[in-house]
Amino acid sequence: MGIEKMERIVVVGSSLAGLRTIEALRRRGHEGEIVALSAESDWPYDRPPLSKQFLKGDWEIDKLSLRRQGFDDLGVEWRLGVSAHSLDLAGRRVALSTGDSVEYDGLVLATGASPRMIPGMADREGVHVLRSLEDARGLRAALDQGGRLVVIGAGFIGMEVAASARERGLEVVVIEAMEAPLLRGLGRRLGELVGQRHRDHGVDLRCGVGVQGLLGEGAVSGLSLSDGSTLEAQNVLVGIGVVPEVAWLEGSGLEVDNGILCDATGATSTEGVVAVGDCARWFSPRRGEAVRHEHWTSAVEQSEVAATRLLCGAAEAKPLDSVAYVWSDQFEMRLALVGEPAAGDTMHVSHGALNEDRFLALLGRQSRLVGAVSMKRPRPLNVARGLLEKGASLDEAIEAVG
């Protein structure tokens, strides 16, 4: 179906990926209807500041908007607070939570992901997750009351929230079952470096211990830990990762496996349907497998390609082989990561030293460059990202970066 035949495009999800795809559709010349469905009642907003500037109270909601100029110029029919219930591929129809449905000529799936929850902790007063603006409002209001915050999970979200809460003057404890924070993202040595910075700022970081359960009736009053100890807490944040929001597609006929399976242009197993963002697994020619990136940059990069694929077909859509790029602000640290490093990778430090505030660490596996981590070294990090795209060896990267 070409651009001249696509009269109505339905976008499910008004996340960053959904909004940027809408903008790309208009830039690509689509003049027909666009209907945007969003389970959230808020206009599209930027998520990274939720765990940082918004949680600390430095920013209010008006600074979170993804379009400072407003949304009217896009000519979109926005249906906020309306979620997709099921998908009829044969009938080209999306059933809605309101009981009605909407037909489409083209479909963009941008439903994002939902936080994982520990069994038995959902719906307990004082237990929080952080994914949406609504989550952030609730967590910020709870922190306004003071008391101890316990963070379960020392990934990026958990450590960012820990830093923000500590900067607000709260007592913060982080519980991590693995032997170091950020182990999957940074590896042990860099993870321990970040952990020590947190401890220097007064965060009580406890690694190698798990959570057995919650204490308190109704509202949480504490936690029992796997080492037999108990811990008092007025608020608990569960930050143990996310799962793609794809359960509503069960039985639809789309190929789904830890996300919606797509080719390298965002096309799904059904013509006229593309997927972008955290809910999508795009095929990576470089890696030879489908990869799901939960990153801001990847969502933006995918949106342009997917819009082209939907409107113009495979011939005009250039396959995307994105290299992951993530950044994280924690206290005075400005961390940035490219690639897919893992625990056990070989590390070469250049442009500074790990005990300094500025450095670049190159990470290799079986002689290949697989990632790079920087603190306040954006230029050499961008060079490393380009080398990752080319499939450079670790030795080539060391020579090129210096």
Lowest mean pLDDT among 18-32, 96-110, 176-190: 176-190
CA 115, CA 249: separation in Å to the nearest integer? 18
Residue 298 backbone phi and psi in degrees, to 5: -60, -40
- Give the pTM: 0.94
**pLDDT tens digits along 6-54:** 899 999 998 899 999 999 999 999 999 999 999 999 999 999 999 999 9
The residue-averaged pLDDT of 314-326 equals 92
Q: What mean pLDDT comes out for the span 275-299?
A: 93
Within a domain: 319 = no
Q: Is residue 153 in a domain? A: yes
Q: Of the residues 181, 216, 240, which one is the last residue of a structural domain?
A: 240
Name, in order, each residue with C-beta under 8 angstroms of 185's C-beta and a sequence gap of 6 or more: 155, 156, 191, 326, 337, 341
CA end-to-end span of the chain = 49
What percent of the chain is modeled with pLDDT above 70? 99
One domain, residues 108 and 248: yes
Report pLDDT for 1: 46
Same domain for 298 and 213? no
- Give yes or no: residues 110 and 250 share one domain: yes
CA distance 219 to 293: 35
pLDDT at 316: 94
Are 135 and 229 members of one domain?
Answer: yes
Supply the mean pLDDT for the chain: 95
- Indicate whether 279 and 370 sit together in one domain: no
Are 185 and 160 contacting, i.e. CB atoms less than 8 angstroms apart?
no
Q: Is residue 322 part of a domain?
A: no
Digit-coded pLDDT (tens) for 343-395: 889 999 988 999 888 999 999 999 999 999 999 999 999 999 999 999 999 99
Indicate the residue among 312, 344, 361 that finishes a domain: 312
327 domain residue, yes or no: no
pLDDT greater than 80 at residue 182: yes
Structural domain count of the chain = 3
Clarify whether residues 109 and 13 are in a common domain: yes
- In this structure, the answer to whether residues 212 and 236 fall within a common structural domain is yes
Model pLDDT, residue 4: 47
Interval 47-62 mean pLDDT: 96
Are residue 126 and residue 206 in the same domain, yes or no?
A: yes
Residue 204 lies in a domain: yes
Considering only residues 282 and 4, tell me which one the structure prediction assigns the higher pLDDT.
282
Domain co-membership, 31 together with 176: no
Residue with the two structure tokens 């995918």: 302
Q: What is the CATH number of the domain that holds 165?
A: 3.50.50.60
Q: Which of 278, 312, 346 is the endpoint of a domain?
A: 312
pLDDT band of residue 91 (cuts 50, 70, 90) is very high
- Residue that wins the pLDDT comparison between 111 and 184: 111
pLDDT of residue 12: 98
Whether residue 223 is found in the same domain as residue 143: yes
CATH code of the domain containing 360 = 3.30.390.30
- Domain enclosing residue 228, as ranges: 117-240
CB atoms within 10 A of CB 131: 19
Quick one: pLDDT at residue 218? 86
